[in-house]
């Protein structure tokens, strides 16, 4: 009989991010540590008649670094964000793609894809007729085009596809890419999430479902775990990591930021938008990740929570952490990046994984912004005072999506 396959170890060698608090990895990270608020009045669309009029919009960025004007016109904004973040991550890593292109792949999650392009072309269809619909509509709006265009732009010829699992999409892309490398199907993966969700239809639809905050004060709209929270604030952005087989990274002298240790996922099988009672599904995802990583709850030094600022998510996520960590739940610091840049839907898992990696690199965590009135049902350590320096060995990043998708990622300091 053949010998069982030995699973590869996976490390993180590059990070790229664009969010409403910063264009680029370091700009975003320093803004989060400083408690910068990226929620502002919406400018990308006319929001004057919408229930929610604030969002986390990415500041202006220079596409010419990676795309010429003609290429850019044939891509939706969510793909622009993905290409920019991927380019930064690849440069950060220093990986020579041309040398191993057949063994380097791409996996980028998106929850809704090119919604802005679809809205624009629907208007063309209704006002000017079917003959005027753009021939580029399909390759602009389908969610896999972020991964497809990043692959084309950077010459990635390994495994390439897209994950769509609502707000867990970016985390599932990273987890799936992690497993691809572990089983030997690639030596590196460009993976994460991208989303450009600030469109009229997106805002109207999420508001109609009662998921969005109706608070249009940018300074208090996104407030995870606060008693007065009333919904999430839409954000946009991209977060991309370079995951790499340890042996390959060491051989080329790569800058190893940390090790990716485990990926756990589960389904609530409960409701299309509401979390399962008590956060049972999220607790299972966390326990699966811990088991697969050979860890105990006491090994986790920090949790980057999903923390959306919706009444049910924050309450049930708190309950799920208590289920997993027991008496130790009150000892582990937890924070929500969404408190500053909003809910970036399919990009959230990628961005927040990047935040977790940088936390390990710098041995610092950011706080939870806008947490002024503590909710008695959310009584854990959410770091309301701001950034905190502390020794970190293992960090967990959780993402939970509509449809009952739960994903938990664990990263650890690299110790050889």
Asked if 231 and 82 sit in the same domain, the reply is yes
| 163: its two tokens | 């994950």
- Looking at residue 4, its pLDDT comes to 57
Expressed as residue numbers, the domain containing 141 is: 10-251
**2 in a domain, yes or no?**
no
Tell me: the pLDDT tens digits for 87-118? 999 999 999 999 999 999 999 999 999 999 99
Q: Has 343 been annotated as catalytic?
A: yes
Together in a domain, 223 and 275: no
Higher pLDDT: 273 or 53? It is 53
How high is the pLDDT of residue 5?
Answer: 64
141-182 tens-digit pLDDT: 999 999 999 999 999 999 999 999 999 999 999 999 999 999
In the listed set 251, 281, 300, which residue is the last one of a domain according to the structure?
251
Residue ending a domain, among 251, 281, 307, is: 251
Active site residue 258: no
Q: Please state the three-class secondary structure of the chain as a single string.
A: CCCCCCCCCEEEEEEEEEECCEECHHHHHHHHHHCCCCCEECCCCCCCCCCCCEEECCCCCCHHHCCCHHHHHCCCHHHHHHHHHHHHHHHHHCCCHHHHHHHEEEEEECCCCCHHHHHHHHHHHHHHCHHHCCCCHHHHHCCCHHHHHHHHHHCCCCCEECCCECECHHHHHHHHHHHHHHCCCCCEEEEEEEECCCCHHHHHHHHHCCCECCCCCCCCCCCCCECCCCCECEECEEEEEEEEEHHHHHHCCCCCCEEEEEEEEEECCCCCCCCCHHHHHHHHHHHHHHHHCCCCHHHCCEEECCCCCCHHHHHHHHHHHHHHHHHHHHHCCEECCHHHHCECHHHHHHHHHHHHHHHHHHCEECCCCCCCCECCCCCCCCCCCCCEECCCCEEEEEEEECCCEEEEEEEECCCC
CATH of residue 321's domain is 3.40.47.10
Query: Is position 183 within any domain?
Result: yes
Report residue 126's pLDDT band, with 50, 70 and 90 as the boundaries: very high
The pLDDT value recorded for residue 1 is 46
Q: How far apart are CA 15 and CA 28, in angstroms?
A: 11
What is the mean predicted confidence (pLDDT) over 299-303? 98
Catalytic site residue from 106, 167, 258, 378: 167
Question: Is the domain of 276 the same as that of 240?
Answer: no
Residue 227 placed within a domain: yes
Note whether residue 387 is domain-resident: yes
Whether 14 and 42 map to the same domain: the answer is: yes
| Mean local confidence (pLDDT), 223-228 | 97
Co-location of 197 and 235 in the same domain: yes
Q: Is residue 237 part of a domain?
A: yes
Q: How many domains are contained in the chain?
A: 2
Q: Are residues 190 and 312 in the same domain?
A: no
Residues 324, 197, single domain; the answer is no
Domain assignment of residue 108, yes or no? yes
The answer on 78 and 182 residing in a single domain is yes
Of the residues 343, 366, 370, 405, only one is catalytic, namely: 343
pLDDT tens readout for residues 275-289: 888 899 999 999 999
| Whether residue 212 is found in the same domain as residue 311 | no
**Residues 22, 356: Cα–Cα separation, whole Å:** 16
Q: Indicate whether 240 and 267 sit together in one domain.
A: no
Q: Are residues 346 and 315 in the same domain?
A: yes
Same domain, 304 and 392: yes
The radius of gyration of the chain from alpha carbons, rounded to an integer in Å, stands at 20
209 occurs within a structural domain: yes
Mean pLDDT, rounded, for 300-313? 97
The catalytically annotated residue of 80, 92, 306, 370 is 306
Name, in order, each residue with C-beta under 8 angstroms of 353's C-beta and a sequence gap of 6 or more: 170, 171, 174, 192, 239, 241, 397, 409, 411
């Amino acid at each position: 009989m053949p010998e069982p396959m030995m699973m590869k170890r996976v490390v993180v060698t590059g990070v790229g991010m664009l969010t409403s608090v910063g264009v680029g990895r370091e700009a975003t990270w320093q803004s989060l540590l400083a408690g910068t608020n990226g929620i502002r009045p919406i400018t990308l669309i006319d929001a004057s008649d919408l229930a929610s009029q604030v969002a986390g919009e990415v500041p202006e960025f220079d596409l010419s670094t990676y795309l010429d004007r003609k290429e850019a016109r044939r891509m939706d904004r969510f793909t622009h964000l993905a290409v920019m973040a991927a380019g930064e991550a690849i440069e950060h890593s220093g990986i020579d793609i041309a040398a191993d292109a057949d063994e380097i792949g791409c996996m980028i999650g998106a929850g809704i894809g090119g919604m802005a392009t679809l809205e624009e072309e629907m208007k063309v269809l209704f006002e000017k007729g079917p003959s005027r619909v753009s021939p580029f509509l399909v390759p602009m709006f389908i969610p896999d085009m972020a991964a497809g265009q990043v692959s084309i732009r950077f010459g990635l010829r390994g495994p390439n596809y897209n994950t769509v699992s609502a707000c867990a999409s970016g985390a599932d892309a990273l987890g799936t890419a992690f497993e691809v490398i572990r089983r030997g199907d690639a030596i590196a993966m460009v993976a994460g999430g991208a989303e450009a969700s600030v469109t009229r239809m997106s805002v109207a639809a999420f508001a109609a479902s009662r998921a969005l905050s109706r608070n249009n004060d940018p300074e208090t709209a996104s407030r995870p775990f606060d008693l007065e929270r009333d919904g999430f604030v839409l954000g946009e952005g991209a977060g991309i990591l370079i995951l790499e087989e340890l042996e390959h990274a060491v051989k080329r002298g790569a800058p190893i930021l940390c090790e990716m240790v485990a990926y756990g996922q589960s389904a609530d099988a409960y409701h299309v938008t509401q979390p399962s009672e008590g956060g049972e599904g999220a607790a299972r995802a966390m326990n699966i990740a811990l088991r697969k990583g050979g860890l105990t709850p006491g090994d986790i030094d920090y949790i980057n929570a999903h923390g959306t600022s919706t009444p049910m998510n924050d309450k049930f996520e708190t309950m799920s952490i208590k289920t997993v960590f027991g008496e130790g739940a009150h000892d582990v610091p937890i924070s929500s990046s969404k408190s500053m840049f909003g809910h970036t839907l399919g990009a959230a898992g990628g961005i927040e994984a990047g935040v977790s990696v940088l936390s390990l690199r710098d041995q610092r965590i950011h706080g939870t912004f806008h947490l002024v009135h503590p909710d008695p049902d959310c009584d854990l350590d959410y770091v309301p005072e701001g950034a905190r320096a502390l020794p970190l060995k293992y960090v967990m990043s959780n993402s939970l999506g509509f449809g009952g998708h739960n994903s938990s990622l664990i990263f650890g300091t690299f110790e050889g």
